[in-house]
Structures are given as structure tokens and as C-alpha cells.
Amino acid sequence: MVLAAGLGVRMRPITLAMPKPLVPVAGRALIDRALDALQAAGVAEAVVNIHHLPHRMTAHLAGRQTPRIAISDESAALLDSGGGVVRALSLLGAEPFFVINADTFWIDRKEPALARLALAWDDARMDILMLLAEPASATGHTGRTDFVMDAEGRLARAKGGEGFIYAGAFLVHPRLFADAPSGPHSLNLQFDKAAAAGRLFGQILDGHWFTVGTPEAIAQAEAVLTRLGAAS
């Protein structure tokens, strides 16, 4: 599931004429960077939700061969991150699936991060296995850390100070959404539910992570990509 339905308010004026997931960074649209990560992990089909300028999104996605794209159309009403996943559940199946933001991406050092998540998945213990970034290996993040991790990889909310950044990608079992509201709500509802049950786990990214939330962040990301030798 690629979350691509946001309005991109902080990216204005660019997003007045272009959906945020189509914004290019170093010559590649953000949505394609997300789909590339899924492809690298062997994902055959992805669901993409759309809302803002949906015709632009569908036209762009029509040119994508791998993974195959199914559209979850939220043109009538924006459902936020959690509501968007609930809306798409019938397209996602009964097995664990990835959820990935369309405005974050990363450069792997070795193995693809999502493939590493899949290998580490433990259905008996986990409802969510979340990709985390270390602040020292992140570009574009201006807020606090999000989670702390215990020795077993279990996560709890950070209360300031040291911790890890939620990297905008996770593996989740659909059972976590069994009693989720169908209306607009944030995925934080599911994160907190999994954490309260002791079933929210994390894995640290082996690579460099980027979040592109404003026009200024584009040049910042491109400069780091050039420094890392990953601009093309």
C-alpha cells in the first residue's frame, strides 16, 4: 500500500499544479522511488490511493509495469493515512502487507530494507514491523524522534531525547484493522494499538533516509544524494 492521497500543503506552490507524489527529486518522481523500493523487495502488486489531482496520478501510474498498480480512489473524500488503508483492505488480501509513504525514501547500503523487514517478520509476536531511521542518517527531518526500542526490538513512543525516526514504511498484518473505523483517521491509532499489546516492533534502516516535505527540502535531498553518489 502506497499512501499517495495527501494534499501536499507544505509543498505549495508546487503542489497547486502537481500531486506531491509526482514531485521529482534528482530526476525521479517520489512515487516511483516508493514503487522502486517495493519492486526491489519482490512485491508484484501495489495499491496506491489517490485524491489530489487524481487524473495526473492515474496517467503517471499507467506507465508503470512493475509492480502492477491497483488504484484506491479517494477523490470524493480524503481518509487520512489509517482510513486510506482501511478503504483499500479488500485489495490488499489476508496476508501481511507493506505500507509505505510516497514522500519518504531511502538509499540502501546493502540488502533492500523492505526485504529485510519481510525476513524478520514473526507472525506470532508482531502486528507491525516498522522501518526506523537513525537521526544521524536522515535528511529533511526537523522534528523529534518517534520511537524507542528495547533489546527484543519492541517499540514504545519516544518521550523526547534519544530514539529513532519512523521511516514511513512498515509491514502489518490486516488483523490489526479488524475493528478500525472506516472514516478518516491517522495510522497512529494502529501504532498505539499494536504498542499497547506489545506487538509493535522495529528494524533500523541500513542506509540513508530522506523526507521531502517542502520545496526547500528538494535541493537538500538532491545535494545529499549527489554526495552519496546516488543522484541518478
What's the Cα-to-Cα distance from 121 to each of 17, 37, 51, rounded to whole Å?
40, 18, 31
pLDDT-derived band at 232, boundaries 50, 70, 90: low
pLDDT digits (tens, 9 = 90+) for 80-134: 999 999 999 999 999 999 999 998 999 999 899 999 999 999 999 999 999 999 9
153, pLDDT greater than 90: yes
Q: Residue 141 and residue 112: Cα distance in Å, rounded?
A: 22
In whole angstroms, what is the distance from residue 39 CA to residue 36 CA?
5
Q: Pick from 228, 219, 227: which is nearest to 26 by CA? A: 219
In the chain, what is the straight-line distance between the N-terminal and C-terminal CA atoms, in Å? 25
Pairing of strands 45-50, 68-73: parallel
Query: What structural domains does the chain harbor?
Result: 2-227 (3.90.550.10)
Q: Which tens digit of pLDDT belongs to each residue from 45-71?
A: 999 999 888 889 999 999 888 899 999
Q: Which of 193, 114, 203, 207 is nearest to 164 (CA)?
A: 203
